[in-house]
Structure 1
Amino acid sequence: MIGDGGFGLATILFSGESLMDSKAPLKRTPSLRDIESIPGLRPRLEAAYRLRDVLAGAPFVPFGADRFADSRDRALANRLVTLALRRHGHIAIILNKVLARGVPQRSGILEAVLHLGIAQLLFADDIADHPALHLSVEAARRDRRAGRFDRLVNGALRTVQREADRWSALDPQLLFPDWLGSRWRAQYGAAAVTRFAEALLAGAPLDLTFRKDDPDLAGQLGAIALAGQSARLLARDAAVADLPGFAEGKWWVQDFAASLPARLLDVRPGERVLDLCAAPGGKTAQLAAMGAEVTALDIAPERMARVSENLQRLGLGAEIVVADALDYAPPETFDAILLDAPCSATGTFRRHPEVVFSRGEKDIAGRVRLQRSLIEKAATLLKPGGRLVYAVCSLEAEEGEDQIGWIKEALPGLALEPVTPALCGGWGEAVTPQGTLRTHPALKLPGGVEGSMDGFFAMRLRLA
């Protein structure tokens, strides 16, 4: 219950579905030779099937080497899906104008093909119009359900092409659905939401957390210091695993904002610390590097296996527990607990752009109830005088700031303790007047570093 919020040459599988399986017949079944005879078609067809799944509610999992032997095709497919997801708000508006009756029902990958085609025509400067149009039509033709709408694809995309200047000038704030944009403007201001939109389009840079201070290694990486032991790579030409210090376990990938909650716990060497809902493990590594005796708990066995692998690479240790947090009954209580609770994850839209359109207000309400259950549970696992840091990667007040009032009423034994700039590596930009931590993509980074960060809320609590 509780946890973090190949292309087969013989069978031609896409996201688990075979082109041979579909119930709506085509006049002919496309063969692998047919698909690969047209340069650029296969990555677009793969991208369409993957995007179809994401539009239906699945998270976007980038293509790996197991799907594409050609790294250029893999990069193109990933780029096209990501671009369509980042521009989803604009593309949805355009489609609503261009298709008066909407996307036909039971049309297979048609909607995904149209999204990808519009993304290429309007927002991919290095892709010419002709291949964007031609390959979109060809991709539709190779799907059993979308194939009969090939003329619709051609007509719709040519209409978009003719009105490119109009559609390229859409307000950036329209990238967010009305309900989300309005609540963010109320909480953060219109100027901040414009910055949010810029961050959505720019994506997330690569931030690292060092196991210990290492200026020489930071120089080798071309990384610029943020605060504490975090740094940002200004450019990256190699795969993460090929960067200096990775194999030796000298750092791990972790957004700067995500590195702050563990620091707020202010761990001392030898303390017994519980990382509740621990996967993917960056905070576990931080706590272990601070000298704590860490217990890392999460419900997902496969994710905890990855945590174990990462800790081994880093030369760090922790007790790994696979369990439902609400059922966890350890033999002893803990000096400190970090609860990075499951949430709407709206603060992660730079790296997971699908959260912008896949979340709803009902999702937030459900998460709030779960978060409160977890806070209550965490309080029972603390020693008297023990510390609890509650954190969420959400921009929504219900999951963050509004929890303070509920805790005061429901759990009077937990007292709010102020967050200070010292706990954030000397950086005070995210410290609120209430003594909590609030990061968001429009906030200024330490040292005037360019770019943005994820949205997080965190607060420190102490058990009486």
Structure 2
Amino acid sequence: MPDTGPDTGLAARRAALDHLRGVMMDHRMMSHQPAPQGLSPHDAARAQRLALTVMRHMGRIDAVLRPYLTRRPTLAVQNLLRLGAAELLVDGSEPHGVVASLVEIAKRHPRWSRASGMVNAVLRKLDAEGRETWAKTPPQALPIWLRKPMHKAYGVDAVAAIEAAHERPVPLDITPKPGVTIDGAELLPTGSFRLAQAQVTALPGYDTGDWWVQDAAAALPAKLLGDVAGQRVLDLCAAPGGKTMQLAAAGADVTALDLSASRMKRVEENLSRTQLKATLVTADALTYQADPFDAILLDAPCSATGTIRRHPDLPFVKTSQEVESLTRLQMQMIDHAMTLLKPGGRLVYCTCSLLPNEGEHQVKAALKRHADLTILPIDPVSLGGDAHWASAEGGLRLRPDFWADRGGMDGFYMALLKRG
């Protein structure tokens, strides 16, 4: 049924509810869900933003809703209420339009129609009374399987700071080609440029390939390799290609490898837009064979828990069992990368994970397995970072609560290793 007015938002809100169902019931990341059908680009973007807002604040939303519910509704109706709460309490949307639209969605659905009166009453009370409670409610808590090892590694206060960082707006970070500046953007000490969120393709320099989007933390691993001009460098697990482009722009002879043909297509598109060159290989990183490389960058598959601020759906989909299998894969990838590295060559190992098992512990174990492998301690200050980024074994540990006054960063671990 078509929307009933010029700006009722029914289509976008329905699509947002579909996204929430896909994550909460089907355990599918939003990036893996099919695109909503029949929506304008504006409504599709709005639906995604609404769903992500709900998941970014779900713990607080549920806490604020709880006093207004005599019994727990079905998940579908609960998501309807969560969506309304997000728009009222987070976005500050006009209350009448939010309530009327969500009540209309409930009325039109055969299984939700009996709950439409309750939806109307709860959201109106929430609008009248909920903001004071909202201000006093703690941020969305991480799941226990993630919180427990992080408490052990970083402490209770640090985890609380990370959870608070996950709720804040996420800026847009850009990696420029050498010599390129981005007008109107903040130049970060590490060399990235930072903007408020914007439509990427409309920004100056996008069409001419002067830069690419890359979180400031993710831009650091390639810099650990130093001067790579003229060197043969292997970028393992390269998609979507940010680090490949960094290495190519620095003058390296880059081989970019990834298992996924569709993801390698994105690398090819990014290289074409930026007019940079690399040899692209679609293959399994564990079986790939080639002449030894001067340097290897291994951005290993991981839990991606360092990216929750940008992907708040992740805690609802990932499990501790998945992390266990990933740590085994990371170990195997490090071991195979050693066979592709020249004596004296450098290996950067990195993951966008907050879990030490995927970072510090993985490197410590690799040093024990390989007698000819040493770690080259990293000075974070020389990279434009802060001294406390350094981890005990010589790597870098970055967290979302770092640079809080600048907008934070993704959680990352990285280490620079040398063979022989």
TM-score normalised according to structure 1 size: 0.81
Farther off after superposition, 344-353 or 145-154: 145-154
Q: Tell me how many residue pairs correspond in the alignment.
A: 418
Work out which of the residue numbers 298, 320, 332 in structure 1 matches 2:280: 320
Q: Name the counterpart of 1:262.
A: 222
How far apart are 1:164 and its partner, in Å? 1.1
Q: Name the counterpart of 1:9.
A: none
For residues 256 and 67 of structure 1, do their structure 2 counterparts lie closer, same or farther at Cα, with a shift above 3 Å needed? farther
How far apart are 1:450 and its partner, in Å? 1.8
Q: Name the counterpart of 2:47.
A: 77
List runs of 5+ in structure 1 lacking aligned partners: 1-30
Q: Name the counterpart of 1:440.
A: 399
Q: Is the 8 A contact 2:174 2:192 kept in 1?
A: yes
**Identity rate, percent:** 42
For 1:418 and 1:207, how far apart are their aligned partners in 2? 26
For 2:66 and 2:372, how far apart are their aligned partners in 1? 53
For 1:60 and 1:167, how far apart are their aligned partners in 2? 30
For 1:392 and 1:132, how far apart are their aligned partners in 2? 40
The yes-or-no answer on 1:455 pairing with 2:411 is yes
Q: Name the counterpart of 1:402.
A: 361
For residues 372 and 314 of structure 1, do their structure 2 counterparts lie closer, same or farther at Cα, with a shift above 3 Å needed? same
Written as runs of structure 1 = structure 2, the 5 A alignment for 1:277-356 is 277-330=237-290, 332-356=291-315
Work out which of the residue numbers 312, 320, 337 in structure 2 matches 1:378: 337
Q: Is the 8 A contact 1:173 1:193 kept in 2?
A: no
Q: Which amino acid aligns with 1:117?
A: G
Q: Is the 8 A contact 2:23 2:316 kept in 1?
A: no
Q: Which amino acid aligns with 1:176?
A: L
Q: Deviations over 1:135-183 (max 9, x none)?
A: 2222233344434543443455456456514640354344333443444
For 2:159 and 2:332, how far apart are their aligned partners in 1? 31
For residues 174 and 224 of structure 1, do their structure 2 counterparts lie closer, same or farther at Cα, with a shift above 3 Å needed? closer
How far apart are 1:370 and its partner, in Å? 1.3
Q: Name the counterpart of 1:223.
A: 185
Q: Name the counterpart of 1:50.
A: 19
The yes-or-no answer on 1:195 pairing with 2:161 is yes
For 1:37 and 1:213, how far apart are their aligned partners in 2? 46
- Where 2:296 maps in the other structure, the secondary structure is strand
For 2:121 and 2:8, how far apart are their aligned partners in 1? 22
For residues 384 and 80 of structure 1, do their structure 2 counterparts lie closer, same or farther at Cα, with a shift above 3 Å needed? same
For 1:143 and 1:399, how far apart are their aligned partners in 2? 44
For 1:402 and 1:76, how far apart are their aligned partners in 2? 40
For residues 95 and 165 of structure 1, do their structure 2 counterparts lie closer, same or farther at Cα, with a shift above 3 Å needed? closer
Farther off after superposition, 167-176 or 257-266: 167-176
Written as runs of structure 1 = structure 2, the 5 A alignment for 1:113-192 is 113-125=80-92, 127-158=93-124, 160-161=126-127, 164-165=130-131, 167-192=133-158
Q: Name the counterpart of 1:207.
A: 173
Work out which of the residue numbers 66, 88, 102 in structure 1 matches 2:72: 102
Work out which of the residue numbers 357, 379, 384 in structure 1 matches 2:316: 357
The yes-or-no answer on 1:240 pairing with 2:200 is yes
Q: Is the 8 A contact 2:307 2:411 kept in 1?
A: yes
Q: Is the 8 A contact 2:60 2:139 kept in 1?
A: no
Q: Deviations over 1:307-342 (max 9, x none)?
A: 111111112100111112112122x12111111011
For residues 250 and 59 of structure 1, do their structure 2 counterparts lie closer, same or farther at Cα, with a shift above 3 Å needed? same
For 2:323 and 2:411, how far apart are their aligned partners in 1? 15
How far apart are 1:51 and its partner, in Å? 1.9
- Where 1:364 maps in the other structure, the secondary structure is helix
Q: Is the 8 A contact 2:63 2:137 kept in 1?
A: no
Q: Is the 8 A contact 1:429 1:443 kept in 2?
A: no
Q: Is the 8 A contact 1:261 1:391 kept in 2?
A: yes
How far apart are 1:46 and its partner, in Å? 1.5
For 1:231 and 1:66, how far apart are their aligned partners in 2? 35
Work out which of the residue numbers 225, 228, 234 in structure 2 matches 1:274: 234
For residues 432 and 240 of structure 1, do their structure 2 counterparts lie closer, same or farther at Cα, with a shift above 3 Å needed? same
For residues 66 and 428 of structure 1, do their structure 2 counterparts lie closer, same or farther at Cα, with a shift above 3 Å needed? farther
For 1:111 and 1:128, how far apart are their aligned partners in 2? 21
For 1:242 and 1:165, how far apart are their aligned partners in 2? 36
For residues 422 and 213 of structure 1, do their structure 2 counterparts lie closer, same or farther at Cα, with a shift above 3 Å needed? farther
Q: Name the counterpart of 1:22.
A: none
Q: Is the 8 A contact 1:279 1:304 kept in 2?
A: yes
How far apart are 1:85 and its partner, in Å? 1.5
TM-score normalised according to structure 2 size: 0.89
For residues 205 and 112 of structure 1, do their structure 2 counterparts lie closer, same or farther at Cα, with a shift above 3 Å needed? same
How far apart are 1:291 and its partner, in Å? 1.0
Q: Which amino acid aligns with 2:213?
A: V
- Where 2:322 maps in the other structure, the secondary structure is helix
Q: Which amino acid aligns with 1:77?
A: A
Farther off after superposition, 82-91 or 315-324: 82-91
How far apart are 1:443 and its partner, in Å? 1.7
Farther off after superposition, 363-372 or 154-163: 154-163
- Where 1:402 maps in the other structure, the secondary structure is helix
Farther off after superposition, 137-146 or 288-297: 137-146
For 1:411 and 1:173, how far apart are their aligned partners in 2? 43
For 1:426 and 1:456, how far apart are their aligned partners in 2? 13
Q: Which amino acid aligns with 1:82?
A: L
List runs of 5+ in structure 2 lacking aligned partners: none
Q: Deviations over 1:42-78 (max 9, x none)?
A: 211121112211223222249989853363x445323
